[in-house]
Structure 1
Amino acid sequence: HNQDSRVRVFQFRRNYGKSAALAQGFKEARGELLVTLDADLQDDPEEIPNLIRKLEEGYDLVSGWKKHRRDRLVKRVTSRIFNRVTCLLTGLKMHDINCGLKCYRREVTDTIKVYGQLHRFLPVLAQWAGFRVGEVVVQHHPRKYGKTKFGVSRFAAGFFDLLTVLFITRYTRRPLHLFGSVGMLAFLAGLGISAYLAYERLFLQRYLSNRPLLFLGILLVIVGIQFVSIGLLGEMITESNKNRDEYALRKVLS
């Protein structure tokens, strides 16, 4: 930045993670098109024009596809599994969701809120918000700078984040649909067990005081009611905290 006044550097007080870095970059960026690129230069900056050309075909977010990855076998395999599972559960048709090389229209970065470790799922969040998402094959070079942070714990954390994304995209505005469904299943199961035990007691004259099934039925009924109550509370909280639109406009025709 000392050599070029157009370059701005933002230094955090500590390492807050990639999502925080992207959120700050999106906030400070001034252009209508934004490009993200990891600092290790495994992704080639010369691919940026290809992403922009793809974006001009009508897409709102274009991600790179490291079709020929220059990583260790274990990382390639786990990445493929992660991408397949994510696409299967979210309906997104991509090969490389977490590629660091991406090009965005400003509307996308203004709409999507990045926090935690959800940077891995930006294409999923963009598609859920109604934006067109595409990808283009890019070159991938062997690592020259820094050390990979990949590991089993990171892989596991990615799937927990996937659960977060699934909840955000499906139930953020309707928590009762999730908690209510689970609660009703538990309640009906408990009710069925209780009805069966009542039949045994009334018509077969069997004692129930020492039956574990009795306690299971009561427990399921109570848990079911609690889950439904949590869903209702979630609906009330959601309704009272609507501070932004739940949709994004592409354009207005007049």
Structure 2
Amino acid sequence: MQQADAPPIRATPAKRAKAIDRVDEICPAQLHSLSVVIPIHNEADNLWPLYRELNDALASLGCAYEIILVDDGSTDGSTAIIEELTRQDEHVRAIIFRRNYGQTAAMQAGMVHARMDMIVTMDGDLQNDPADIARMIEKMEEGYDLVHGWRRDRQDALVNRKIPSRIANWMISRATRFPIHDLGCTLKIMRRELVEEIDLYGDMHRFIPILLYQRGARCVEMPVNHRQRVAGVTKYGIGRTLVVLLDLMTVKFLLDYASHPMRVFGGLGLACFALSAFALLATIIMKLDGVDMTGNPLLLMSVVAGGAGLQLLSLGILGEVLARIYFSRGAKTHYGIRALLNFPPPHRGTDE
């Protein structure tokens, strides 16, 4: 097993032995503390190489950091390796799900439990290069709130990965008016206070830059290194394109009408009522002229359009009620956590 053959972890510098809460003492003023969130699902062969490479990249930054591995229901032994990593390195923290909930849920759980100033998200398949994190931090220093990667030289199959991705990115960019080349790149760095303002569900993790941009975040895209997968199998294929397009409709609605759904449903309802009134008026005029109304399509149109208008107005009212409930709801999760490893206990006197 990969865990048994892995050599002991090297001794770390003295500054890494300090408590992770004492950020100001170990972080140079120009750097930030980092939480690296990595969803893991059946990546046993990649975990040890990922840890060593990421650990070296983060240690060279000279700032406080934590690595949050979210085990999304792995069945290949990844869980045991993650547990071993948390025992050997205090910087590694783990969230163990009860079952597979998907990458978005894993991403949300990791970001909710992140404790540092800035959050980095990346895949666990070694295709994202940890060395890019330093360059992305430098880009953040220019005044941005989020830097998202662009796999300009993407090392994936052309037919079932690259072409569908390019089509989806073009459609998303046109629909949301957000300039983007590669929305599917998981490698991102963002400020934690902004991440706390959004909720992720379904497959919405790929829309994080758009959701934050809609809330006023300053976003920028930069080319990053993308490597071929050397172990494990990809969890995505051409079938995911349809899911992305369905999520795009959801995001488009959320961006434009989430706080006022009556504007779209009510507008469509009023249009249907206008069509119904026009058809009814035409029907009455034709009746007065002595035209036989038996099977008249305008009469049927009047009834159908009127019913559709009533239904759309009802949906608008329900949407307004649900929006109010959503914006006033308490903190809830759509995933189940079996265990939290290496996380410090809540501070006394708080509600955590």
TM-score of the two chains, using structure 2 as the length reference: 0.66
Does 1:227 find its partner at 2:227?
no
Does 1:217 find its partner at 2:312?
no
- In structure 2, list runs of 5 or more residues that go unmatched: 1-85, 330-352
Q: Give the structure 2 partner of residue 115 of structure 1.
A: 201
Task: Name which one, 1 or 2, has greater alpha-carbon Rg.
Answer: 2
The whole-number CA distance in structure 2 between the counterparts of 1:202 and 1:217 is 17
CA contact (8 A) 1:34 1:105 kept: yes
Does 1:145 find its partner at 2:234?
no
CA contact (8 A) 2:164 2:238 kept: no
Q: Give the structure 2 partner of residue 90 of structure 1.
A: 176
Q: Which has the higher contact order (CA 8 A, sep 6+)?
A: 1
User: Which amino acid is the alignment partner of residue 103 of structure 2?
Assistant: K
The whole-number CA distance in structure 2 between the counterparts of 1:25 and 1:237 is 27
Q: Give the structure 1 partner of residue 243 of structure 2.
A: 157
CA contact (8 A) 2:149 2:221 kept: yes
TM-score of the two chains, using structure 1 as the length reference: 0.91
2:216 alignment partner, one of 130, 138, 142: 130
In the TM superposition, 1:58-69 aligns within 5 A as 58-69=143-154
More displaced stretch, 140-149 vs 101-110: 140-149
Does 1:79 find its partner at 2:162?
no
User: Share of identical aligned residues, percent?
Assistant: 39
The whole-number CA distance in structure 1 between the counterparts of 2:326 and 2:93 is 35
- 1:128–1:213 Cα change, 3 Å: same
The whole-number CA distance in structure 2 between the counterparts of 1:3 and 1:165 is 41
Does 1:8 find its partner at 2:130?
no
Q: Give the structure 2 partner of residue 183 of structure 1.
A: 269
**Structure 1 residues 73-101: Cα deviation after superposition (integer angstroms, max 9, x where no partner):** 12111111111111111111121112110
Does 1:40 find its partner at 2:130?
no
More displaced stretch, 185-194 vs 46-55: 185-194
Root mean square deviation, CA, Å: 1.5
The whole-number CA distance in structure 2 between the counterparts of 1:11 and 1:158 is 26
CA contact (8 A) 2:120 2:188 kept: yes
CA contact (8 A) 1:94 1:134 kept: no
Shift of 1:206: 0.9
Q: Which SS does the other structure have where 1:53 is aligned?
A: helix
- 1:26–1:233 Cα change, 3 Å: same
The whole-number CA distance in structure 2 between the counterparts of 1:42 and 1:241 is 37
Q: Give the structure 1 partner of residue 258 of structure 2.
A: 172
More displaced stretch, 222-231 vs 48-57: 222-231
Number of residue-to-residue matches in the alignment: 243
The whole-number CA distance in structure 2 between the counterparts of 1:241 and 1:123 is 21
**Structure 1 residues 211-252: Cα deviation after superposition (integer angstroms, max 9, x where no partner):** 2332122110121122123213322443465428xxxxxxxx
CA contact (8 A) 1:60 1:131 kept: yes
Q: Which has the higher helix share?
A: 1
The whole-number CA distance in structure 1 between the counterparts of 2:239 and 2:291 is 51
Q: Which SS does the other structure have where 2:119 is aligned?
A: strand
User: Which amino acid is the alignment partner of residue 165 of structure 1?
Assistant: V
Q: Give the structure 2 partner of residue 198 of structure 1.
A: 284
The whole-number CA distance in structure 2 between the counterparts of 1:99 and 1:152 is 16
Q: Which SS does the other structure have where 2:221 is aligned?
A: strand
**Structure 1 residues 95-136: Cα deviation after superposition (integer angstroms, max 9, x where no partner):** 111211000111121111111110010011000111111111
The whole-number CA distance in structure 2 between the counterparts of 1:219 and 1:86 is 34
Q: Which SS does the other structure have where 1:11 is aligned?
A: strand
More displaced stretch, 133-142 vs 144-153: 144-153
The whole-number CA distance in structure 1 between the counterparts of 2:269 and 2:255 is 20
Deviation >6 Å, runs of 4+: none
- 1:150–1:241 Cα change, 3 Å: closer
User: Which amino acid is the alignment partner of residue 66 of structure 1?
Assistant: R
Q: Which SS does the other structure have where 1:40 is aligned?
A: coil
- 1:184–1:134 Cα change, 3 Å: same
Shift of 1:150: 2.6
Q: Give the structure 2 partner of residue 250 of structure 1.
A: none
CA contact (8 A) 1:61 1:108 kept: no
The whole-number CA distance in structure 1 between the counterparts of 2:299 and 2:320 is 32
Q: Which SS does the other structure have where 1:67 is aligned?
A: coil
Q: Which SS does the other structure have where 1:25 is aligned?
A: helix
Q: Give the structure 1 partner of residue 185 of structure 2.
A: 99
